[in-house]
Structure 1
Amino acid sequence: MEGDRRDMTTMNLPIVSSCSVDGCSYNHDHDCHAGAITVTGSAGAACGTFVHTADKGGVDAHGHVGACHRADCRHNDHLECTASGVDVGAGADPADCLTFAPA
């Protein structure tokens, strides 16, 4: 691999450490169960995987960060998150990556 880019398999993607967004289909007791979320490039750093519904979905494991469109975040390396984990909660949008840090 080039430079310091990591081998980004699902085994080493950063986890969603916590999610305080009530009403999201993937939130089970403040634990994200999406296979992998996408942090979008909108104002704030929105969780693009947020689905507002009472139906529960997802996988039987912690959610991971699959992609990050916020190239201006210090944890972003070639659109991949390098944080050890992220927290999702209300911000500019109902579900934002609260770990976002300007580069």
Structure 2
Amino acid sequence: MTTMNLPIISSCSVDGCSYNHDHDCHAGAITVTDAAGAACGTYVDASDKGGVDASGRVGACHRSDCTHNDHLECTASGVEVGAGADRADCLTFAPA
């Protein structure tokens, strides 16, 4: 799977994340961790803005119990990130 084929972050409602620019994720690729609620492991609480010019993508998903997970890769067409169990969670997570 190439970087361009990775699922896009369709929206991010997490204010205060360094990668969030106007509710659009600009991390090159996020990691969804196996923490409660499928946390965005790339979340950075910083005032400086960072990231790439393009929209962010899902680089890895540690939640093997998600219906969108195939060999620790996300197969969802798009992912929403926002407040869940943690401040920044994959809201597209769906238990298998």
Deviation at 1:95, TM superposition (A): 0.1
Name the structure 2 match of 1:16.
Answer: 9
Cα displacement string for residues 57-91 of structure 1 (whole angstroms, at most 9, x for unaligned residues): 00000000000000000000000000000000000
Name the structure 2 match of 1:55.
Answer: 48
Question: Partners in 2 of 1:57 and 1:47 — Cα distance?
Answer: 16
Question: Partners in 2 of 1:91 and 1:11 — Cα distance?
Answer: 27
Residue number among 63, 67, 76 corresponding to 1:70 in the alignment: 63
**1:41 has 2:34 as partner:** yes
Question: Partners in 1 of 2:90 and 2:67 — Cα distance?
Answer: 13
RMSD value, Cα: 0.3
TM-score (norm 1): 0.93
Question: Partners in 1 of 2:2 and 2:71 — Cα distance?
Answer: 14
SS of residue matched to 1:11: helix
Cα displacement string for residues 18-56 of structure 1 (whole angstroms, at most 9, x for unaligned residues): 000000000000000000000000011000000001100
Name the structure 2 match of 1:97.
Answer: 90
One-letter amino acid of the counterpart of residue 64, structure 1: R
5+ long unaligned stretches in structure 2: none
Name the structure 2 match of 1:3.
Answer: none
| Mapping for residues 21-32 of structure 1, pairs under 5 Å | 21-32=14-25
Name the structure 1 match of 2:76.
Answer: 83
One-letter amino acid of the counterpart of residue 83, structure 2: A
Structure 1 stretches of 4+ with a deviation exceeding 6 A read: none
Question: Percent identity, aligned pairs only?
Answer: 86
One-letter amino acid of the counterpart of residue 95, structure 2: P
TM-score (norm 2): 0.99
Structure whose CA Rg is larger: 1
Q: How many residues align?
A: 96
